[in-house]
A and B are shown apart, each in its own frame.
Chain A
Amino acid sequence: RRQLRIHDEL
Chain B
Amino acid sequence: MNLFRLGGDLLHVFSIFVLTLKIKTSKNVAGISLRTQQLYLLVFCTRYLDLLFTNPFRSGLTMYNTVFKILFIASSAYIVYLMRKKYKQTYSVKDDTFRVEFLIVPACLAGTLFHYRNTFFEIVWAFSIYMESVAIIPQLYLLQKTGEVENLTSHYIACLGGYRALYLLNWVWRFFTEPRYRHWIEWIAGTIQTALYADFFYYYFLNKTKGQKLKLP
Across the interface, do B68 and A9 meet the contact criterion of CB distance under 8 Å? no
Residue of A at shortest CB range from B12?
A: A10
B9 interface neighbour in A5, A7, A8, A10, Cβ under 8 Å: A10
Interface, chain A (partner B; CB < 8 A): 5, 7-10
A contact residues around B61 at 8 Å (CB):
8
A10 interface neighbour in B65, B116, B122, Cβ under 8 Å: B65
A8 interface neighbour in B65, B69, B125, Cβ under 8 Å: B65
Across the interface, do B5 and A7 meet the contact criterion of CB distance under 8 Å? no
What's the A-B contact tally at a CB cutoff of 8 Å? 17
Q: Interface majority SS on B: helix, strand, loop or mixed?
A: helix
Across the interface, do A7 and B72 meet the contact criterion of CB distance under 8 Å? no
Number of B positions contacting A (CB below 8 A): 16
A contact residues around B68 at 8 Å (CB):
10
A8 to B125, CA, bound (A): 12
- 10 A-B pairs within 8 Å (CB atoms) are namely A5-B116, A5-B117, A5-B122, A7-B50, A8-B61, A9-B5, A9-B167, A10-B65, A10-B69, A10-B72
Interface, chain B (partner A; CB < 8 A): 5, 9, 12, 50, 61, 65, 68-69, 72, 116-117, 122, 125, 167, 170, 186
A5 to B61, CA, bound (A): 15
* A2–chain B nearest beta-carbon distance, Å: 10
A contact residues around B69 at 8 Å (CB):
10
B contact residues around A7 at 8 Å (CB):
50, 125
* A1–chain B nearest beta-carbon distance, Å: 9
A9 to B170, CA, bound (A): 10
Sample of 15 more A-B contacts, CB < 8 Å, known A9-B5, A10-B69: A5-B116, A5-B117, A5-B122, A7-B50, A7-B125, A8-B61, A8-B65, A9-B167, A9-B170, A9-B186, A10-B9, A10-B12, A10-B65, A10-B68, A10-B72
